[in-house]
Amino acid sequence: MSDIIIEAQRCLKCKKPFCKEACPVKTDIPIIMQMFLDGQMDEAGEKLFENNPLSALCSLICPHEKNCMGNCILGRKGAPVKFHEVENYISTFYLEKARLEKAPTNGFRVGIIGAGPAGLTLAIILAKKGYKVTVIDSKDKIGGVLRYGIPEFRLPKSLLDKLLLRMSELGIQFRPNTLIGPTITIDDMFRDGYEAIFIGTGVWNPNRLRIPGETLGNVHFAIDYLKNPDSYTNLGERVVIIGAGNVAMDAGRTILRKSNAKVDVIFFRGREEVTALKEELLLAEVDGVKMNYYLNTVKIEEDGIIVEPVVQIQNEDGTIDYKNDSENAYKIPASSVIIAIGQGALTNIVKNTKEQINTTNKGLIATTSGGATTRPGVYAAGDVVSGAKTVVEAVAATKQVADEIDRYIKTKNGLI
Ligand SMILES: Cc1cc2nc3c(=O)[nH]c(=O)nc-3n(C[C@H](O)[C@H](O)[C@H](O)COP(=O)(O)OP(=O)(O)OC[C@H]3O[C@@H](n4cnc5c(N)ncnc54)[C@H](O)[C@@H]3O)c2cc1C
């Protein structure tokens, strides 16, 4: 019998499902499992899509160990149910087969900046309500990080191409290769009749180490590398990655697939403080990434990095401080260096609007809980508001914003 059928049968269909509670979009797992077992594939697919238009993608790349699978009651004493495998089967089937019908238009135009998870979710929800939706992105294809960050071996991009087909059926227009900010601004968009504008531009500005050598030709930012790994043909035989988050693991695992280079991750804290998901870390090690802990990089050179060991100092009150042992600095040879220490938001939209859109002290867009920015009619959600999070969290936040935008436009036009 197929594993996914066994998984669906193993599911206890709990009355109070902890898996559903732990899911940011509250996927109705027990009901979906039952529909699947009853052969209601189309209905189950539609239900998943209505709740989360990115269900097929989330089923592959959600942090299941923290969300549904991590909270399955069967996991307390044995193996938890792998709902995501059943979800993947149903949702990819649906994305392939469904033909979506364009809703009757209500005549109102909404502009969405950013074709990442946040922008795509909003586009689909609002198009289904009858809005004329235009999605504008600086890149040539839809997906945001789903296409230009997460590697193909974790997420087949063909899923995004299928999603684009379904979006076209709903009448959603996609305008590629258009950076909003320097040339076209939000003010221009309002002039052209958009009733509301949504900013879902994510976080693409790599954090810097601020150490000597960061501008050398053998140094790259992981977020840039992952946009198009094939353009990095000269990484050499030993690549050092600084940072130990999911982006670092994705970069390391991609390099190992695309070259014969050895890959070392250098992290300034210990294994327990690695920010990558445990599964990502373990898989990176299986692939061949070598982890190196308690090393602080202080300088980058053309043939390596200078590191200082980090030592722990126990204070009298029991707390721990960390100190660089600069006397024992040494060089780790490296042909290329990849910096993966997080990302922040780009500022080209907020800097180029007449009416102020406030940002937080971290440079993220400040919004109400419903996604309203300080400029009337402009909304935002996803990483550009929350900072780097997950796809399903971007979907969950955007669903709330969709309701707010709908209410805002209808109120403004005297419809409610
Ligand atoms: C390498 C990597 C791996 C990850 N792995 C996972 C994972 O396994 N699971 C998971 O759940 N999450 C993962 N994440 C996080 C997840 O991808 C993000 O939380 C999610 O993509 C945020 O969605 P978003 O729509 O807010 O932004 P993004 O996905 O960043 O999309 C923003 C879009 O806006 C466009 N844009 C930006 N500025 C402009 C502008 N001025 N004009 C026009 N367009 C603009 C960009 O081109 C981009 O297409 C990962 C992130 C990275 C970087």
The domain that holds 404 is classified in CATH as 3.50.50.60
Range of the domain at 242: 207-342
- Judge whether residue 362 has pLDDT over 90: yes
Kindly state the DSSP code that residue 388 receives in the 8-state scheme: S
User: What number is the average pLDDT over the span 218-240?
Assistant: 97
CA dihedral (263, 250, 241, 208) in degrees, to 10, reads: 170
Position 241 pLDDT exceeds 60: yes
Residues in CB range of 204: below 8 A, 6 or more apart = 223, 343, 345, 346
CA 75 – ligand 1 centroid, Å: 31
Residue nearest atom 21 of ligand 1, based on CA coordinates: 145
Adjacent-strand bridge partners of 310 = 324
As a whole number, the mean pLDDT across the chain is: 97
**Coil, helix or strand for 311?**
strand
Tell me how many helices (H) and strands (E) the chain has.
15, 16
- Distance in angstroms (rounded) separating the CA atoms of residues 123 and 66: 28
Residues 330 and 222 in one domain: yes
Assess whether pLDDT exceeds 70 at residue 1. no
- Residue 403 CA, ligand 1 centroid: distance in Å: 22
The pTM for the full model equals: 0.96
102 within domain boundaries = no
User: Per the structure, how many domains does the chain have?
Assistant: 3
Using the 3D structure, point to which of 62, 97, 132 is the last residue of a domain.
97
Q: Name 265's Cβ contacts closer than 8 Å, sequence gap at least 6.
A: 240, 241, 242, 243, 244, 248, 249, 252, 284, 289, 290, 291, 292
- List all residues 6 or more positions away from 162 whose beta carbon is below 8 Å from its beta carbon: 56, 95, 96
Mean pLDDT for 232-256 is 97
Average pLDDT over residues 288-311: 98
Cα(36) to centroid of ligand 1, in Å?
A: 31
Q: Is residue 143 part of a domain?
A: yes
Same domain, 13 and 48: yes
Rounded average pLDDT over 152-166: 97
Helix axes 158-169, 83-97, angle to 10 degrees: 50
Classify residue 32: in a domain, yes or no: yes
Q: Which atom of ligand 1 is nearest to the CA of 247?
A: 1
User: Which pLDDT does position 416 carry in this prediction?
Assistant: 86
Q: Any idea what the CATH number is for the domain that residue 38 is in?
A: 1.10.1060.10
Q: Does 409 contact ligand 1 (Cβ within 6 A)? A: no
Q: Among 298, 321, 342, give the residue marking a domain's end.
A: 342
Query: Ligand 1, residues 65, 147, 188, 201: which to mutate, most atoms within 8 A of Cβ?
Result: 201
pLDDT over 80 at 14, yes or no: yes
Instruction: Indicate if 251 and 320 belong to the same structural domain.
Output: yes
Residue 37 has pLDDT above 80, yes or no: yes
Using the 8-state DSSP alphabet, how is residue 365 labeled? Answer: B
Whose C-alpha lies nearest to ligand 1, atom 48? 144
DSSP assignment of 140-190: SSS-THHHHTS-TTTS-THHHHHHHHHHHHTT-EEE-S--BTTTB-HHHHH
CA of 38 to the centre of ligand 1 (A): 36
Give 96's DSSP letter.
H
Task: Identify whether residues 83 and 123 lie together within a single domain.
Answer: no
DSSP conformation class of 379: E
For ligand 1, whether the C-beta of 223 sits within 6 Å is yes
Please tell me whether residues 44 and 193 are part of one structural domain. no
Same domain, 125 and 49: no
Taking residues 172-176, what's their average pLDDT? 98
Q: Do 174 and 219 sit in the same domain of this protein?
A: no
Residues 220, 327: one domain?
Answer: yes
**40 pocket-lining for ligand 1 (C-beta < 6 Å):** no
Ligand 1 atom closest to the Cα of residue 149 is: 1
